[in-house]
Structure 1
Amino acid sequence: MSDWPELSEERDGPTIKALHLYAQIAGKVATAVLPWRNHGWHVTLHVGPRGYRTEPIHAAAGPFELEFDLVGHRFLMNMPDRDRAGFALEPMTVAAFYERVLSLLSEAGHIIPIHAAPNEVDPATPFMADRAARPYDRDSVDRLRRALVSADRVLRLFRSAFLGKVSPVHLFWGSFDLAVTRFSGRRAPLHPGGIPNLPDDVTREAYSHEVSSAGFWPGGAGAAGGPFFYSYAYPAPDGFAEARIRPEAAHYDKALGEFVLPYEAVRTGREPDEVLLAFLESSYAAAADLGAWDREALECEQGQPGIPRAVQPPRNG
């Protein structure tokens, strides 16, 4: 089922900004406990039908998950040996949310110090000092959830057509974007860093190899603008910014250094899924062709339910 709800920066943006800051707190718990995995993939959140959650966090006092249930409007801690614990998602300050999460962890025997200020947000107000009232509009939450589920579905379909190294489709809590990343297999030049309130060594590890990355940004804290889809390459090959990308509503944003497609252009398209796939495929093709990727070796047919990918004999020589 295709479900692309209307998203308004004016109406939905304040609630999305609050959820972004709350997501940072949950993500930092995973960062503090889990062993580092390539490109920071262990710290991301994963979209599901009811919202998004961490992956299993294997802590000294036992495993657990942290979940944002955007249908039941609760923040949950899922554990194997007791009932789910949690509290209501409702209007509150970031400081109040932070205190409730720490209390939830402590009651389950988890004392987990985290870096208590946001990343990739400027200014990075410490969580305990952020006492501004934050809204929690349930209609906005539902629209966000449905948009994330639809974007996740199409990004997974796009991911299925790549044989090379490719990330999961996952939600980065730093910038609050749902992303999937394809890799050429070659090392990349050292990234210059400079992302606000993010250590350069994290950025450089994330971009250690050549990538074509795409995703969905619904809005978030520390930034303005309506929701959009994006696609970029690192390093960007010569001519990338001038490439012709489908559909016509897409454009290259010099400030962001990436191609952008407004969410509204997808939502109002006759076939929204096809509009988005055209953007994902054409922007990737520009990065791969201009960057001289071995596309024959890296790509395959789009996945089909219940049908294994046909394996061709190895090429001679």
Structure 2
Amino acid sequence: MELFPPIPLAEWRDTKETLHRFAQVIGKIRLAASVQRNHWWNVPFRLTGRGTTTSPMGQVDGNPIFPIDFDFVAHRLVVSALDGREVSFPLAGRSVASFYAAVMEALDALGVRTRPALPRPFDLPDSGRPFADDTEHATYDPAHANRYWRVLSQVASVLEEFAAGYSGKVSPVHHFWHTFDLAHTRFSERRVQQPEGADAVTREAYSREVISFGFWFGDDTFPEPAFYAYTAPEPAGLADAPLEPPAARWVPRGSSHLAVLRYDDVRTESDRRAAVLAFYESAYLAGARRAGWDVDGLACPGGVTDPVLRP
């Protein structure tokens, strides 16, 4: 199977827009039914061998324990309980409104009382429209949905390999449903004082210095898939640091910068995996060195922390 197959945004935009809202419906249920973890690690999805999952939720709020899984092989949503009961339905042929109604029926059938606190999209152009009223987004192409999951899985594998090289605090490799990207973050233990008026999501996500790495499928502001990295807070001179491979570049983002490597540029490389790993490493070193992180002390070659055991 080809590593990083073509996935131009223009070819599957309608499916992506529908699937993004499907994901937000399930993500908001996960947010309501899970215990809050530091830096919102309870919010994103994880990948499975067939799609994405919320992981088990419930119990602490009086509901049964239940996971919700997107199956992008059989193209179904699966809601299950620990006692073996399961409700599933096809993803194709549904608007966001009909998907939302089917999800609520599935939860009721399993005795789950959890509901999204704000049942409408987050940070999308139609954020004022309830999911239950969205009959506009109703495109689900199974081939495009399956390719989305395969690309996610391939990028996640590379991010897991990259994650092995750092012994400090790190996030899981996880899929954020609100921004529809895959991300992995390295932390220093230095606290960050957020400006007065910063929202609660930002304050918790960036309460420590971070260097974050990820991949997104493109949107209206950057209409193509790309690998990315950023340092927050951004140290002086970050955008002057070299990036690898040569096609990578720094892109202004408000008052800061984003390291970007276009997905299609990676596809021209003879070793695509090595190109992405080199990109992430160069972006990490650019931020860590300028922010004064202990690069050598936090290194973890080959995923081994004990220098005696290192090859």
Q: TM-score, normalised by structure 1?
A: 0.90
2:111 aligned residue: 109
Partners of 1:171 and 1:178 within 8 A in 2: yes
Deviations 1:39-58 (A, max 9, x none): 10011100122111112102
1:138 aligned residue: 142
Matched, 1:69 2:71: yes
Partners of 1:76 and 1:86 within 8 A in 2: yes
2:302 aligned residue: 302
Matched, 1:32 2:23: no
Matched, 1:119 2:122: yes
Distance 2:163 2:35 in 1: 25
SS at match of 1:4: coil
Cα distance, 1:2 vs. partner? Answer: 5.8
Partners of 1:158 and 1:302 within 8 A in 2: no
Partners of 1:250 and 1:262 within 8 A in 2: yes
Instruction: Note the 1:49-198 alignment, pairs <5 A.
Output: 49-59=49-59, 60-114=62-116, 115-124=118-127, 125-190=129-194
From the superposition, tell whether residues 302 and 2 of structure 1 become closer, same or farther in structure 2 (CA, over 3 Å). farther
Cα distance, 1:9 vs. partner? Answer: 1.2
Cα distance, 1:233 vs. partner? Answer: 0.6
Distance 2:258 2:126 in 1: 23
SS at match of 1:253: strand
Unpaired segments of 5 or more residues in structure 1? 195-199, 304-308
Unpaired segments of 5 or more residues in structure 2? none
Cα distance, 1:135 vs. partner? Answer: 1.0
From the superposition, tell whether residues 119 and 192 of structure 1 become closer, same or farther in structure 2 (CA, over 3 Å). farther
Distance 2:250 2:201 in 1: 26
1:235 aligned residue: 233
From the superposition, tell whether residues 159 and 78 of structure 1 become closer, same or farther in structure 2 (CA, over 3 Å). same
Partners of 1:2 and 1:150 within 8 A in 2: no
1:201 aligned residue: 200
Cα distance, 1:223 vs. partner? Answer: 5.4
Partners of 1:42 and 1:55 within 8 A in 2: no
Identity %, equivalent residues:
37
Cα distance, 1:192 vs. partner? Answer: 7.0
Which deviates more, 150-159 or 137-146?
137-146
Matched, 1:215 2:210: no
Letter in 2 for 1:142: N
Letter in 1 for 2:288: A
From the superposition, tell whether residues 55 and 192 of structure 1 become closer, same or farther in structure 2 (CA, over 3 Å). farther
Cα distance, 1:191 vs. partner? Answer: 5.4
SS at match of 2:276: helix
Distance 1:96 1:268 in 2: 41
1:247 aligned residue: 245
Deviations 1:229-254 (A, max 9, x none): 11001000001122111111111111
Which deviates more, 200-209 or 131-140?
131-140
Q: TM-score, normalised by structure 2?
A: 0.92
Matched, 1:311 2:309: no
1:306 aligned residue: none
Letter in 1 for 2:205: A
Partners of 1:2 and 1:273 within 8 A in 2: no
Partners of 2:244 and 2:278 within 8 A in 1: yes
Which deviates more, 5-14 or 175-184?
5-14
Distance 2:271 2:218 in 1: 23
2:282 aligned residue: 282
SS at match of 1:43: coil
Partners of 1:64 and 1:80 within 8 A in 2: yes
Letter in 2 for 1:101: V
